[in-house]
Amino acid sequence: MPSDTEKTVQVCNCLALRQAARHVTQFYDQCLAPTGLRTTQFSILAKLKWLGPMTINALARELVMDRTTLGRTMLPLERDGLIRIEDGKLDRRSKELHLTKAGADRLRAAGKLWREAQTQFETSFGGARAAKLRDELSALVISELGTALDRAKSNSQSARAAP
């Protein structure tokens, strides 16, 4: 008979999502490998191409990513000349990210491989299932979990501050 801990692991939403995310990320990373980009880097370049220059904080929010993690992920992109980091136009203390011509060229090359990965994924998983999965994951991202997380952080900080 499974223990309570084993049952918990079997029904853990976070674990299931993280396992699926790692599995899919490994697949896309392998498909994009000839371009020298990882999936997260491809996403950064694609967002900058689609949305235009933006601050690091704005891009982190857009990608639902921690700012410091995004900063580490951007370093090779900047080093390779795929993005340019400038002082913000409105606030010189903020940093604004720009897609360079080299970045746009690399994104274009990676886009072909990404489309092939998308096709393989949808062939394997099913196009309708993939569309439904994207819809469900988008709904999850905009759900009230973020509000709950903010409340939990606030409660945790209040508890530490209490005498």
The residues pairing with 86 across neighbouring beta strands, listed in sequence order, are 96
Q: CB pairs under 8 A, 24+ apart, for 2-10? A: none
Mean pLDDT by 10 residues, the chain (163 residues): 70 92 97 97 97 93 92 95 89 87 98 98 96 94 75 62 58
Nearest residue to 108 (alpha-carbon basis) of 42, 44, 54: 42
In the chain, domain spans? 15-125, 127-158
* Confidence (pTM): 0.81
What class, spelled out in words, does domain 15-125 have in CATH?
A: mainly alpha
